[in-house]
Amino acid sequence: MRYRQNRIESASRRGWLRNALVLAWALFLTATPLHSQSSLPSSAIIVDETSAGFQKFGPPQWWYTATGTSFNFYGGSMIYTFNVVTDTINYARWVLPVTATLPMTYEVFAFIPRYHSSTTNARYEVITGGVTATVAISQNRYYAEWVSLGTHVFGVDGPNFVQLTDSTGEPIHTRRIGFDAIAFVPQVSVTPPITLPASAYLPIMVLPGIAATTSRYIGTMDPARHYAMGCASGRAGEQGVIILAFGQPWTQDGQYGVIYYQPGFPFAPTSAVAEASKAFLRGYWECAPETARLDVAIGTNNYRGATLQPNTSFAHGQAWGQMVGQLHTWLQDAAPPGVRDRVAVFGGNDIEMSWNTAALTKAWVDGYASATARPFINFGTCDGCPTSGNPTQSPNNGWTVDDVWQVNRPPYAIPFPEIYLRSGVNADQWYRMSLYAAQNKGAKLAFGGLLTQWQACQDRGTCSGLTDNTPQQGWRQLQDALNADSRTAMRLPPPSDITWRNEGLTTQGTKDAIGIQADASRTASGDGEIVEGVAPPLGAMEFLPGNAWNGDNVVVFAGLVRDPTTGGDDAHARGGVAVFAVNAAGEYVFPPRLSRAPVRTAALRIVRAEGSVLMLSDGEALLRFDAIARTWIE
């Protein structure tokens, strides 16, 4: 270790100018657009890191091996090392086999694995007959993809190989350089280069025959609006699973229900949820083709509220199960002949580890299962669950992998996971959950489909190109991850894509329909009120709320701003706020402003307000945030 440390310190002393020149040169090298693709022609000559033509150099203790499935690594494995600034220590070569046709023009591709490839400046050197062409790429832009290093002429005399070193110009030991496979694709004739996006995620093409349904976050209880939404899905001929996500579990005045997605935090009892659901179901069957088949999940979530105590969590689950059972009976009685065999109703819950403890969530599940034999669809996450890149990490908030299995197990639960991340990490997490079930519980998970949020991202503009998988992309990621291992292989049912659109929703219509404000704890403070235990219209992968301040035309949620690229892992999360403007119609204005605290803190809470200046604390630091200017006051 002393040898490497001395080399590192020596590299550090070269000074900032040399580092800046290295990075500037890297920018010049990457000015030529690169293209990527998910597969190669059969003529490709592939040299993997396990092949005889692969050679690695440098201290062996600083080479690391990762194994998994072909969904993550070519051939199921790869090696990696950590970066230095300029003076190379570890490097490797992929040699063109002597059996290759020469002389020949080859397009060279590097396979970038899904994990352990975080450098933004991997400098591949293509050596052909003593001539070196350097191509710098950002490995962290690609996820299990073949990235072109250009077209090169390889001669008979050689040497002919590709080389990659640990020298990246980035701060020392902060990035991983992935070494997987290199491919040489012969170019029989001179043809134009393949035209693909600079960053092409799997799949590149929309898959034929994989049609998604439209699920909805619910911002109204008006039955007329719900009939219109059901009719829209029917006219579109949608078939599969549709989720109606009604919102946060809540109880007040002896009734159980939800806070649905509107500013002011309105409450709707299960009776109102049932009437809205009936209207949706009727709208669907009256507008859909006579052969169309649909399962509708009536959904809530596990974010605090009624699930903060074991007894109320059980009781809310029980009330939800009773409502679903009654809806099933109504459907059998009220639907025209033939419809009852094609349209079905289920429960639903967006279970996310970060939102509640395993014990309180399982209390809800127990309550639900005690009231009905109708399964519920779990359209939640696997926050912080193991990945192939980090197989030993534990789910967030004290959950275990077995806890996650228990809320996704038959006969009462159907897993329908959120596969939002373009990187494929969500799909990998759920593959590993299914593998756990296969190895420890006697059967893999029986997925009912999956959920994406592409349309919700278009509606709100909050996804930053990270969590906006199309339904076809999400389906392909999970299908590929599961079917890379015979123990989890299955034919995955079609996906659903969720939206915030509620078909002509008006806030006035919503208030006329219900007119009940949730009895959340509200304390007047400054020019507004502090509201406890309520959730913003944001996913847990982006923001984990603590409490909120409801002001004049603005709502500020305090909590934890998270890095969605990690799949919900909190290692890089930071205290912060989510700020929503509220328009004249009383609706949230999107996108919100997500702002991290100027210093690293744990999850923040609003403790008081002076005018519109909020005082926030994580129990140690005390910070100030101007809700009108939307800036931290330092």
Residue pair 595/577 in contact (Cβ under 8 Å)? The answer is: yes
- pLDDT value at position 576? 96
- pLDDT value at position 196? 30
pLDDT over 70 (residue 509): no
Classify each residue of 524-541 as buried b or exposed e, where b means 16 or more C-beta atoms within 10 Å of its C-beta: ebbbbbbbebbbbbbbbb
Tell me how far apart the alpha carbons of residues 126 and 581 are, in angstroms, rounded to a whole number. 53
Q: Which residues pair with 275 in a beta bridge?
A: none
**Mean pLDDT score, 336-364:** 96
Provide the whole-model pTM: 0.79
pLDDT over 70 (residue 2): no
Is the bond preceding 203 in cis, omega lying within 30 degrees of 0?
yes
Closest CA to 152 of 114, 102, 116: 102
For residue 28, give the 3-state DSSP assignment.
Answer: helix
Tell me how far apart the alpha carbons of residues 350 and 300 are, in angstroms, rounded to a whole number. 6
- pLDDT value at position 462? 73
Residue carrying the six token digits 């500037």: 24
E strand intervals along 469-553: 496-499, 522-525, 528-532, 543-551
Measure the CA angle with vertex 499, ends 495 and 504; round to 5°: 135
- pLDDT value at position 160? 95
Residue pair 148/159 in contact (Cβ under 8 Å)? The answer is: no
SS3 content of the chain, % helix, strand, coil (to 5): 25, 30, 45
**Mean pLDDT score, 434-461:** 94
Tell me the angle at which helices 425-440 and 471-483 cross, rounded to the nearest 10 degrees: 40
Residue pair 470/426 in contact (Cβ under 8 Å)? The answer is: no
Confidence of residue 461 (pLDDT cuts 50, 70, 90): confident
Tell me how far apart the alpha carbons of residues 213 and 515 are, in angstroms, rounded to a whole number. 31
- pLDDT value at position 175? 96
- pLDDT value at position 499? 94
Region of poorest pLDDT, from 21-25, 211-215, 282-286:
21-25
Residue 27: is it exposed, middle or buried by C-beta count within 10 angstroms (0-12/13-18/19+)? exposed
| Higher per-residue pLDDT: 207 or 337 | 337
Number of H helices, E strands in the chain: 11, 34
Residue 480, C-beta contacts closer than 8 angstroms, at least 6 positions apart:
71, 202, 427
Confidence of residue 118 (pLDDT cuts 50, 70, 90): very high
pLDDT over 90 (residue 508): no
List, for residues 131-146, the tens digit of each pLDDT value.
999 999 999 999 999 9
**Amino acid code (one letter) for 634:** E
Q: Which structure tokens are listed for 417? A: 């996971």
Pairing of strands 631-633, 213-217: unpaired
Tell me how far apart the alpha carbons of residues 421 and 565 are, in angstroms, rounded to a whole number. 7
- Provide the 8-state DSSP code for 96: P
Region of poorest pLDDT, from 321-330, 500-509, 602-611:
500-509
- pLDDT value at position 39? 86
Residue 163, C-beta contacts closer than 8 angstroms, at least 6 positions apart:
91, 92, 93, 94, 124, 125, 127
**CA–CA distance from 124 to each of 135, 164, 177, 193, 568 (Å)?**
5, 5, 11, 19, 32
Residue 392: is it exposed, middle or buried by C-beta count within 10 angstroms (0-12/13-18/19+)? exposed
List, for residues 546-577, the tens digit of each pLDDT value.
999 999 999 999 999 987 766 656 667 899 99
Average pLDDT score over the chain: 88
**CA–CA distance from 545 to each of 352, 533, 565, 617 (Å)?**
13, 8, 19, 13
| Higher per-residue pLDDT: 32 or 465 | 465
- The terminus-to-terminus CA distance of the chain in angstroms comes to 42
List, for residues 357-381, the tens digit of each pLDDT value.
999 999 999 999 999 999 999 999 9
- pLDDT value at position 541? 78
Residue 556 phi/psi, 5° resolution? -115, 120
**CA–CA distance from 179 to each of 82, 110, 616, 628 (Å)?**
11, 9, 45, 49
pLDDT over 70 (residue 512): no
Closest CA to 276 of 213, 329, 226, 234: 226
- pLDDT value at position 569? 62
Confidence of residue 250 (pLDDT cuts 50, 70, 90): very high
- The percentage of residues in the chain with a pLDDT greater than 70, rounded to a whole number, is 88
Q: Which structure tokens are listed for 247? A: 């919102």
pLDDT over 50 (residue 634): yes
Q: Which domains does the chain have, with CATH numbers?
A: 2-186 (2.60.120.260), 213-507 (3.20.20), 521-633 (no CATH)
pLDDT over 50 (residue 57): yes
Tell me how far apart the alpha carbons of residues 492 and 514 are, in angstroms, rounded to a whole number. 39
DSSP 169-199: SSSTT--EEEE--EEEEE-SS--PPP---SS
Confidence of residue 38 (pLDDT cuts 50, 70, 90): confident
Measure the CA angle with vertex 281, ends 278 and 283; round to 5°: 105
- pLDDT value at position 618? 95
List, for residues 290-317, the tens digit of each pLDDT value.
999 999 999 999 999 999 999 999 999 9
For residue 287, give the 3-state DSSP assignment.
Answer: helix
pLDDT over 50 (residue 13): no
- pLDDT value at position 588? 86
- pLDDT value at position 209? 56
- pLDDT value at position 15? 42
DSSP 230-267: HHHHHHTT--EEEEEE--EEEEETTEEEEE-SSTT-BE
For residue 291, give the 3-state DSSP assignment.
Answer: coil
Confidence of residue 506 (pLDDT cuts 50, 70, 90): very low
